[in-house]
Structure 1
Amino acid sequence: MSSEIETLLQNVKNGKPLSFESLYQLYNPLIESTAYSFCKRFSLASAEADDLKQEAAIALYNAVLAYEPTKNVSFGMYAKVCIRNRIISYIRYFHEKYSAEPIDELETHFEEISFDTPEQLIINKESLCNLNRRIDGTLTDFEKSVFDLYVGNMSYSDMAKTLSKPIKSIDNAIHRIKAKLRKLL
Structure 2
Amino acid sequence: MDNSVNQEELAMLELARRGDTEALEYFFSKYQSVIYWKSTQYFLQGAERDDLIQEAMIGLFKAIRDYDKTKEASFRSFAEMCINRQLLSAVKRASRQKNIPLNNSVSLDTPMAEDDVDWTLLDVISEKAAETPEDFLIKNEDLIHVARQLEQVTSEFEKEVLKQYLEGKSYQEMALYFNKKEKAIDNALQRVKKKMMKQLE
* Contact 1:17-1:131 at 8 Å conserved across structures: no
For residues 34 and 128 of structure 1, what CA distance do their matches in structure 2 show? 16
TM-superposition CA deviations, 1:34-84 (whole Å, max 9, x none): 111223xx6x45x53111111111110111110000111101001111110
Question: 2:87 and 2:105 mapped to 1: Cα distance?
Answer: 16
Out of 148, 160, 170, which is 1:145 matched to? 160
Aligned: 1:31 with 2:46 = no
Q: Is 1:99–2:114 an aligned residue pair?
A: no
- Residue type of the alignment partner of 1:139: T
Q: Does 1:183 align with 2:198?
A: yes
Query: Residue 10 of structure 2: which of 6, 31, 41 is its match?
Result: 6
Amino acid of the residue matched to residue 51 of structure 1?
D
Structure 1 or 2: more helix by fraction: 1
1:168 and 1:90 mapped to 2: Cα distance? 16
Is the CA contact 2:24–2:144 (under 8 Å) kept in the aligned structure 1? no
Change (3 A) 1:177 1:70: same
In structure 1, distance between residues paired with 2:147 and 2:186: 22
Alpha-carbon distance, 1:132 to partner: 2.2
Task: Assess if the C-alpha contact under 8 Å between 2:60 and 2:82 holds in 1.
Answer: yes
Matched, 1:160 2:172: no
- What is the CA distance between 1:102 and its match in structure 2? 5.9
Contact 1:18/1:131, CA 8 A, preserved across alignment: no
**CA–CA separation in structure 1 for the residues paired with 2:152 and 2:91:** 29
Q: Report the TM-score, using the length of structure 1 for normalisation.
A: 0.81
C-alpha distance in 2, partners of 1:183/1:130? 12
The letter of the residue matching 2:170 is: S
CA distance in 1, matches of 2:145, 2:87: 25
Normalising by structure 2, what TM-score? 0.75
| 1:25 to 1:129, Cα distance in 2 relative to 1, 3 A | closer
2:148 aligned partner: 133
Whether the 8 Å contact between 1:146 and 1:173 is mirrored in structure 2 is yes
Cα distance, 1:109 vs structure 2 = 3.9
Q: Distance in 2 between matches of 1:8 and 1:90?
A: 28
RMSD: 2.4
Kept in 1, the 8 Å contact 2:95–2:101? The answer is yes
Contact 2:67 2:75 in 1 (8 A): yes
Q: Which consecutive residues of structure 2, in runs of 5 or more, have no partner in the other structure? A: 111-118, 127-136
Q: 1:82 to 1:61 in 2, by over 3 A?
A: same
Q: Per-residue deviation at 1:92?
A: 2.1
Say which SS state the counterpart of residue 37 (structure 1) adopts. Answer: coil
Aligned to 2:188: 173
Distance 1:7 1:128 in 2: 21
